[in-house]
Chain A
Amino acid sequence: MYDFEFEKPSSISDAITLLSSEEAMPLSGGQTLIPALKQRLNAPSKLVSLAGIPELRGVSVNEGGMLEIKGATTHAVIAKQASSHYPALSALASHIGDPAVRNRGTIGGSLANNDPAACYPAAVLASNGKIISNKREINSEDFFQGMFTTALDEGELITAVQFEIPTVANYQKFLQPASRFALTGVFVAKFDSGVRVAITGASENGVFRWSEAEALLSDNFSPSSLDVLTFSTDGLISDLHGTPAYRASLIKTLTKRAVIAAK
């Protein structure tokens, strides 16, 4: 690892100031960043820890009825504190990595990283979520811009994430056998206004919505609604663990299962 200065501010504004220096990076749970630093894939001059900022932690429902999770809230805390508000999201958090990873890793770090196989992006997109940064609100549709790419600017910090709370929802994660990230993951969320389906782990462009399935399920929220669909293999990931055809099949299977399991 290259060396860097370590800073631990206690407010968002101090963090933003510190992040304005050349090659500074935020450090949240470190569960992605530290392994990358070990491989010397990054050379930050300064790491700004978000762990000492109370305003970056917590789970609550805001006045608009949206579930708001602060950016540096850990997976473990989300699993616990979101369970009464949004059980499907809580269940998703409780299946990220392992207990030790969940005790450190955070939602803000996960979204900023936007790993194509990560879990939260599917939840955020399916929940018509908003990413709140220190400067703006970004709709989930605009936030995810392909593998490891987001709408965030240099030095911009995710301070919170807001989710519309669906009437029922479910996340189905099919494990990549080695990393245990999502080989394919499907988040189905049913709102009064319609159904949203977001797919992670499958596409070369990262998380995306499956609009055909959404239309059919909005009409009839039943797994059989999907029988008429086949998912195209175009643009799906091909790797050691699965072909595009396999991922396409998983997308359909998991979507059906999510509809059945949605609570």
Chain B
Amino acid sequence: MPKDFGIGVSQKRREDVRFLKGAGNYTDDINVVGQAFVHFLRSEVAHATINSIDTSAASNMPGVVRIFTGADFEGVGGLPCGWQVTDRNNEPMQEPPHPILAQGKVRHVGDPIAAVVADTYEQARDAVEAIKIDLDELPAVIDMADALTENAVKVHDELKSNLCYDWVLGETDNEKVQAAFDNAEHITTLELTNQRLVANPMEPRVAVGDYNQATEEHTLFTTSQNPHVIRLLMCAFVLGLPEHKVRVVAPDVGGGFGTKIFHYAEEAFCTFAAKACNRPVKWTSSRSESFVTDAQGRDHVTKIELALDSENNFTAIRTNTLANLGAYLSTFSSSVPTWLHGTLMAGNYKTPVIQVNVKAVFTTTVPVDAYRGAGRPEATFQLERVIDKVARELKLDPVALRRQNFITEFPYDTPVALTYDTGDYNGTMNKLEAAADFDGFAQRRSDTEANGKLRGLGVNCYIEACGIAPSNIVGMLGARAGLYDAATVRVNATGSISVMVGAHSHGQGHETVFPQVVAEMIGIDESQIEIVHGDSSKIPFGMGTYGSRSIAVCGSAMVRATEKVINKAKKIAAHLMEASDADIELKDGQFSVAGTDKSVAWGEVTLAAYVPHNFPLQDIEPGLEETAFYDPANFTFPAGAYACEVEIDPDTGQVSIERFCAADDFGNIVNPMIVDGQVHGGIGQGIGQALLESCSYDKDGQLLSGSYMDYAMPRADDVPFYAVDHSSQTPCTHNPLGVKGCGEAGAIGSPPAVVNAVIDALQSAGHDVDHIDMPVSPSRVWAAMQS
């Protein structure tokens, strides 16, 4: 009989039933009795000094409860940055304050200046229109290179310049790096941008603050990927509240993709205002508002150089990147262009000398932080594009060139600070070659050409570092938080189990997947197991969900806690059967004594734990509940190979994706259906980045793509069905499940495949084009074909 529960089964998702019936409980569905609504007065200009704010007329408008300005927050902390990057001279990064409401200056369109709390949303909005502000507009700071020039206007007057840090990783000795290039047989250089994106989870952000005067307790309902992190940051750094008096709840969350990791001003504001107004305060972002307030992603400008020897071995890589941070440091923004980007520059290849240089720059734009993949897509894109370019220059098979340079022995210490524990890059490439039918490409191309179009095939590899990661290491690298996770396994007297986890599910299906693991370990039905997440008052202190870490880190904590439960249950079972602990075996929910026919069921043991009439009270406590915190020994390293085939309409430059194949190595897999879904979603976003999406500002700092009228989201007819394979598996060596994480792979691996395919198509028709910046829009392709 095929296995029907536990690890490796494509169990259907139990959370689907409520979502499919419209019975989800998203933050905007929560209304607290007596709530008021806040609307923010936001800057319409990119950069200005605030001379005065006159709220007198607005205060007398109908329904207005109270108006807040920066002055109300003078004694209050700003939003903290959770990662201190140290620059190439061992100096800490420049870290400007990030106020809840603007203090004296606004620094991007959307920067909040004042907030009106009123009985209704429309009244709050009416009153916002009645606030008079007197601004002196300053020049916008948009272009990163300009921002770093000597006389550039400063985004933050109190800083020395617009440079947050100038960082280097890998070989710091410039002469050694130069020597490697001097000795090269061939050098290829590529300049490119990894354009700014807007994460755009379909649910806009919402925050509802509530305060109970009697108990002095705060509750914040918020669209967050990590309620405990929000509570810690808000209590310790922003509002100075006692953590035990603050409850943060992230209920059903409609997608995150990174942008709901961060602690935002609106969350702190609603918490603060609920007490100040003695009324619950609700904020619901409109999509237009989310375009100017949600932290954005990517935005790197890079020059990458790759050196090869006469046998086409990669001998050195040097990169120079300008990374846009926007106007303020968002929660993890400083780590993205550095430790989440530079460390991946070895990719899947054994390049001995690597130097990564990153200058991070303040501009008068919305802050930039992690977006699905965070740093790793930027690293992968430049590396896989430059490899593609060199293969074309030297007329080499891009797959063979990659294979020749693959790392094949593990563990492998990269020149950029990581140790890959395991992997098999030829393994995934083999899977890809089969799935993508490289052999049939020539025929498909000639069929396409017969229809007057061009066809291209693009291939690339990727590696990512997931399950972020040992706290002691990240602490050394500047993280101001630990990166463990936690789980509590609470067994009820009747044998059912509640598992309280620090990870947060906002689409990943934890409610289905996590029970599969516990069910497997104990041998009871998954329906007996419930996952509790998203409420700081119910769950142990966990770090939440991002960086493809849930199963690798929190899942490991859950395994450890379940092991503790099982060990204790075995002791109880031993007592019940008058046997020795060491002889007890657990299988299919039955405890038995090895070599005998004696057994007791799971339910009997759990009952004994809570009705301890016959119980070894002298040796162990009653009850059956265990907590484990798990701090991983290393990152995990999912890796894979992707292939894309495109058709191009030569008259219009329109690119259409005809085939997309992904071969990933995620180590062991708990629920293949959900893993497929994660890869599909990532590829959808990657294709979005490659072909469609762009967050653009004009020179005055106005957002040109501030709604779906101009920000091109991928739609159903922009993408094909994807073929995904994850049968090449090298289990992670250091976590108990051997899992690696799969949430970001698709978004990391897919953009270079698409762009490589476009270049292949254009070159096949004799166009001398070696790069087009993303999004590879029809107009850009057409323009490239004209030159």
Contact = CB atoms under 8 A, between A and B. Distances in A.
Interface of A: 1, 3, 38-40, 174, 177-179, 183, 239-243, 245-246, 249-250, 253
A183 to B, nearest CB: 8
B783 A39 contact: no
A1 B694 CA distance: 29
B290 to A, nearest CB: 14
Interface residues of B, number: 27
Given A174-B652, A178-B709, A240-B694, A39 B288 contact: yes
A179 B710 contact: yes
B274 to A, nearest CB: 26
B692 interface: yes
Contact of B704 (A183, A240, A242, A250): A240
B694 A3 contact: no
Contact of B122 (A1, A177, A250, A253): A1
Given A3-B122, A178-B710, A179-B709, A241 B652 contact: no
A239 to B, nearest CB: 8
Given A178-B713, A179-B708, A179-B710, A243 B779 contact: yes
5 contacts: A38-B286, A178-B710, A240-B710, A246-B778, A253-B652
B705 A249 contact: no
B722 interface: no
Contacts of B288: 39
A38 B694 CA distance: 24
B651 A253 contact: yes
Interface string B678-720: 0000000000000110101000000011001111110000000
Given A39-B288, A250-B652, A253-B652, A178 B708 contact: yes
Given A1-B122, A38-B286, A245-B783, 12 more contacts: A40-B125, A177-B778, A178-B708, A178-B710, A178-B711, A178-B713, A239-B710, A242-B779, A243-B783, A246-B653, A246-B779, A250-B652
B68 interface: no
B494 interface: no
B73 interface: no
A185 B710 CA distance: 18
B708 A177 contact: no
Nearest to A243: B779
Going nearest first, the 6 A-B pairs with the smallest beta carbon separation are: A178-B712, A177-B712, A242-B779, A246-B779, A179-B709, A253-B651
B480 to A, nearest CB: 38
Contacts of B129: 40
A250 B783 CA distance: 12
Interface string B651-662: 111100000000
A243 B696 CA distance: 15
Nearest to A177: B712
In terms of DSSP, what is the predominant structure of the interface of chain B?
loop
A241 to B, nearest CB: 6
B103 interface: no
Nearest to A1: B122
Interface string B118-136: 0000100100010000000
A177 B651 contact: no
A1 B126 CA distance: 9
B597 to A, nearest CB: 65
A246 B779 CA distance: 6
Residue of B651, B692, B713, B779 most packed against chain A (CB within 10 A) = B779
Residue of A39, A246, A249 most packed against chain B (CB within 10 A) = A246
A174 B779 CA distance: 11
Interface string B749-787: 000000000000000000000000000011100110010
B377 to A, nearest CB: 20
Contacts of A3: 122
Contacts of B782: 246, 249
Contacts of A40: 125, 129
Interface in B711-749: 711-713
B391 to A, nearest CB: 30
Contacts of A246: 653, 778-779, 782-783
B652 A240 contact: no
Contacts of A243: 779, 783
Contacts of A38: 286
A257 B639 CA distance: 44
A242 B779 CA distance: 5
Contacts of B713: 178
Nearest to A256: B651
A249 B694 CA distance: 23
Given A3-B122, A240-B696, A253-B651, A178 B783 contact: no
Contacts of B709: 178-179
A178 B705 CA distance: 9
A246 B696 CA distance: 19
A17 B122 CA distance: 29
A241 B779 contact: yes
A240 B779 CA distance: 9
Contacts of A240: 694, 696, 704-705, 710
B238 to A, nearest CB: 31
Contacts of B710: 178-179, 239-241
Nearest to A174: B652
Contacts of A241: 710, 777, 779
B79 to A, nearest CB: 28
Contacts of A250: 652
Contacts of B778: 174, 177, 183, 242, 246
B559 to A, nearest CB: 45
A183 B782 CA distance: 14
Contacts of B783: 243, 245-246
Nearest to A247: B779
Interface in B619-658: 651-654
Interface in B506-527: none
Contacts of B653: 246
A118 B162 CA distance: 43
A250 to B, nearest CB: 6
Nearest to A254: B652
Contacts of B125: 40
Contacts of B786: 245
Contacts of A242: 778-779
Nearest to B125: A40
A38 B705 CA distance: 18
Nearest to B696: A240
A38 B653 CA distance: 35
A183 B653 CA distance: 13
B655 to A, nearest CB: 11
Contacts of B712: 177-178
Nearest to B288: A39
A250 B125 CA distance: 43
Nearest to B129: A40
